[in-house]
Structure 1
């Protein structure tokens, strides 16, 4: 006897939008929802399985029997199965038993489940995302922190290995325990945002969360949905933004997941040239299927709405956009225009960006992890762009690390690896990433990418950070890099926080903290960070000395900073051009003793020199070895008054 009663949360318009690929709030319809029918409380279930012969709900309430609770197919040929089971409540374990056209019984977890079991069976839990938020002030004003002309300094972390229980290092901390440690740390360090590697449910720890099965479920490794909300809430209450890694590019082939959900290629593309990822042995979403687009865009909306995320960093965009990604000739099929662009994926990303920015405006951000030169990723969709807010600056990252790996003796042969980014840095809105990908798989930690003895390694890394923080664009630094973690990142254990007992590591942490606060306090570093008026080379071609000098400019004409990098291990007395009537003061020196540097002073030795190249005036500076210094322009009051009088005449 079937114990399921008819019930629906779908209107005809809901179904229409779902089939059109334009329903962006499906999480309020699909899945398991507390409901009431005829005065009796229970749970409403709904699932999309258009090619199934039968779908039933199985769980700990019916001994996992697929014959007792059979859902009803909707009359409108939408492929939606639904029904109401009385007496069920929060915490009920369940799955869908899907009978395929061939008579096979597949046991599938709910694609819209809000919580999953943390074991091999990975059943879904009837759950809720109800939470009493306390971040109203942040949410009303967050556009000020998430706008492109605000300082954007992001701390990327993996929740399972940032820190663990000191008494039981194999045990994960709860989201709430992490909040207790993370919030004061980020606040002290001065980062404006955190970026969490995927917090959605995933079965395989070594995937770091990028092989997602529960797209709507906060991973239960670290607690409940409300525990994650508490963590985000505490960050927001302390004016720290939260970016979530989001993975609409692929999913694993786990038996209880999306793969062949109803016995057919439902969520994935049927053609393996478009539907199977050769590198990750995973399955690629069918971006041309409207119901799949509704699923994915609703998922983005879900994390932005229910979890108050301030942004989504979209993983593996390059693989989505290119039909020939990691494929040899003959393993991919050109698009209808004869090219290698996945036009369906591009259209999906345009729809995604259009939808979330329409819903949330500029209070949120979308960031593409994209490593090719695909054009107009961060340009508006109405102008032919893809519509992202920012893009990772992978070219800058590779060139910078390649340069800093070189022995200083050889750097003159690679000088323009540093200057090359200025050729294209305003083509897109860039975020400069020193991410987790750069410190795994034998690539070495950042500190051990640096050449030389211990002193040179730390001096080089300090200068690299000065270059990063003073370069136009948003910043991203992976956890552990701020104190020069020596070992590669290992997702199975905590960071090596004990290193902070050593002055060289404590000094590095202090330097990053000071750079964060300097970046946030000096408007010249961020007001025009995506505008060509915010940057000017002063010295870009001194190969022999490996010296670089550039200006950063705010919106006020007199808001100017100069950055000078000395990338050889010797002190230099260096002459550089400046504008007439200006005076300068050193406000930062990476070789300072508090950063465990050699404490060589960065002094302005002479301000009375004459012309220097195109500049009417010049100054001579003492440059510490392997160091970056920052100078602030001070306007000469007499010169300013003289110019005003000349203007009046």
Structure 2
């Protein structure tokens, strides 16, 4: 634990960053800024030549260079609180206040965070308040009897995970859990907390059969005391550390995870992981070509609920472990050998993810399309990134994130896809091609104030469409920003290359006033910038305010 070290005051050099972070709490800057998240398990991101774990100080410059090259601006770390079993990836914790010592000392970790801040990279850390591991020397039966956990195993035991559940009603336990995130934010300058397994804190019957759980005092299935704890946690963090981002991994339909604390069910988180989007999208892409038309709604269903919360779109570690294979393994294909087709489909998936309303999150290894699933005891297969085609794949990720960062319609209106009339905020998202299930094509436009809108088209079929007709909301000259089939990204050069200008024709299509015609390669994503002067702006005052509010400023 930390008090095993003699700590002198650390010479932080991140004063400018901390001032910038405080400013994110003003005028909705936190929600309007781009937020591209790179998720990392530090012990296995990169290892020494002998296969050993690297120190925080050695990892810092390597990660900074890598993250900057890929145009991510947030780093999310799997839990770094003390945990006895590396195979838990940090999610079975014994010391919520102790910095994971195999990677170095507390000062080493402070050096790591300071280096990220110097490069303009925010640091989010996973936090596990739902349960703890049962090692007898740690928190379990702390004084010889249940102390941190509920006494009744129907409340105090997670059989599925082999862990104990914190007694959220006990004052001392609540103080312990409330203090932990504040400790990490204050002592280590952490910029965000991602709370793991929130669903297990919301519902008493989560992953339990009948007879394995006890209703609450009102006869319901919610953890009333845990809900109160989560609300208190977010209230304390926001009050003491404005600009720190609070994220929830929550998989149920609880209403108001990102709702305000002034609402009855609002938990006060800034963002929620959209696990429904992840499951639906991967299910669609794994389906054989002949089945995709019948599953088309898995691509479009999100439009019915995406305005209800504020989202992160995760392709996380959970999808590439425990026999699930890699993301590359999940992509369907037509011909043998499948590698090239899967690689192209994966590029289209990333384009769909980054273009959709929500903050994109990629787990390490996704940027090189790693072929095997993640193993916590091994480094990422960086040698694959040295292959020419995977190097070009990585360039696609970098350019895609660069467009996301640079073009405000791609991120600034993520939380109001359908607009908010009472605030004079117009829609920030609009389908232009939503029902073409047989072609396996979707297209949409992203808007923000008076900025030039951005069009995203994804073709998830194996067909090459010549002179594809796409209805668009504005006539004039559109400019191709990205084409995943460009030679630069390891493609075959099909369709308009990056920088190509496309003029619309006046013919209408599906009710749109103008039409673009261009070739659409198989398994591809194309991103285009609308003509000069094209915009769906807010009211004059709101548009001016949006233009003046720039959360992406250099610091």
Does the alignment reach a TM-score above 0.5? yes
What secondary structure does 2:93 align onto? coil
**Match of 1:507?**
392
- 1:293 positional shift: 1.0
- 1:419 positional shift: 0.2
Q: Is residue 150 of structure 1 aligned with residue 38 of structure 2?
A: no
What secondary structure does 2:293 align onto? helix
**Match of 1:133?**
12
**Match of 2:355?**
470
Quick one: distance in 1 between partners of 2:61 and 2:501?
44
- 1:383 positional shift: 1.5
Greater RCO, 1 or 2 (C-alpha within 8 Å, sep 6+): 2
**Match of 1:315?**
196
**Match of 1:105?**
none
Match of 2:511 among 611, 614, 621: 614
Given that 1:129 and 1:225 are in contact with CA atoms closer than 8 Å, whether structure 2 keeps it comes out as no
TM-score by length of 2: 0.90
Counterparts in 2 of 1:127 and 1:322: CA distance versus 1, 3 Å: farther
Q: Is residue 596 of structure 1 aligned with residue 490 of structure 2?
A: yes
- 1:338 positional shift: 2.3
What secondary structure does 2:43 align onto? coil
**Match of 1:376?**
256
Quick one: distance in 2 between partners of 1:267 and 1:126?
26
- 1:381 positional shift: 1.1
**Match of 1:160?**
43
What secondary structure does 1:344 align onto? helix
- 1:559 positional shift: 2.2
Match of 1:219 among 83, 100, 114: 100
Match of 1:566 among 432, 440, 459: 459
> What whole-Å deviation, never above 9, does each CA across 1:450-469 have from its counterpart, x for those lacking one?
12212210110000000001
What secondary structure does 1:335 align onto? coil
Q: Is residue 284 of structure 1 aligned with residue 177 of structure 2?
A: no
What secondary structure does 2:280 align onto? helix
> What whole-Å deviation, never above 9, does each CA across 1:330-366 have from its counterpart, x for those lacking one?
11111223221111111110111111111112x1111
Q: Is residue 114 of structure 1 aligned with residue 16 of structure 2?
A: no
**Match of 2:332?**
451
Query: 5 Å matches for 1:488-637?
Result: 488-532=373-417, 533-556=427-450, 558-572=451-465, 573-602=467-496, 607-635=504-532
Quick one: distance in 1 between partners of 2:8 and 2:82?
15
- 1:618 positional shift: 1.7
What secondary structure does 2:283 align onto? helix
Match of 2:279 among 398, 401, 408: 398
Quick one: distance in 2 between partners of 1:569 and 1:606?
26
Counterparts in 2 of 1:128 and 1:297: CA distance versus 1, 3 Å: farther
Quick one: distance in 2 between partners of 1:258 and 1:397?
35
Quick one: distance in 1 between partners of 2:151 and 2:14?
44
- 1:610 positional shift: 1.8
What secondary structure does 1:161 align onto? helix
Query: 5 Å matches for 1:408-447?
Result: 408-447=289-328
Which structure's residues are more often strand, by fraction? Answer: 1
Quick one: distance in 1 between partners of 2:19 and 2:487?
42
Quick one: distance in 1 between partners of 2:189 and 2:162?
32
Given that 1:527 and 1:555 are in contact with CA atoms closer than 8 Å, whether structure 2 keeps it comes out as no
Gaps spanning 5+ residues in structure 2: where?
418-426, 535-555
**Match of 1:275?**
156
- 1:180 positional shift: 2.4
Counterparts in 2 of 1:483 and 1:129: CA distance versus 1, 3 Å: farther
Given that 1:606 and 1:621 are in contact with CA atoms closer than 8 Å, whether structure 2 keeps it comes out as no
> What whole-Å deviation, never above 9, does each CA across 1:156-192 have from its counterpart, x for those lacking one?
01111000001x11x1111001112111111111111
> What whole-Å deviation, never above 9, does each CA across 1:400-421 have from its counterpart, x for those lacking one?
1001112233211111100011
What secondary structure does 1:351 align onto? helix
- 1:614 positional shift: 2.0
> What whole-Å deviation, never above 9, does each CA across 1:418-477 have from its counterpart, x for those lacking one?
001111111101101101010011101001111221221011000000000100011110
Quick one: distance in 2 between partners of 1:143 and 1:526?
20
What secondary structure does 1:357 align onto? helix
Gaps spanning 5+ residues in structure 1: where?
1-112, 116-124, 638-649
What secondary structure does 1:635 align onto? coil
Given that 1:444 and 1:488 are in contact with CA atoms closer than 8 Å, whether structure 2 keeps it comes out as yes
Quick one: distance in 1 between partners of 2:258 and 2:533?
40
Given that 1:581 and 1:636 are in contact with CA atoms closer than 8 Å, whether structure 2 keeps it comes out as no
**Match of 2:543?**
none
Quick one: distance in 2 between partners of 1:142 and 1:592?
37
What secondary structure does 2:345 align onto? helix
- 1:143 positional shift: 4.6
Counterparts in 2 of 1:605 and 1:367: CA distance versus 1, 3 Å: closer
What secondary structure does 1:462 align onto? helix
Counterparts in 2 of 1:434 and 1:144: CA distance versus 1, 3 Å: farther
Quick one: distance in 1 between partners of 2:231 and 2:310?
16
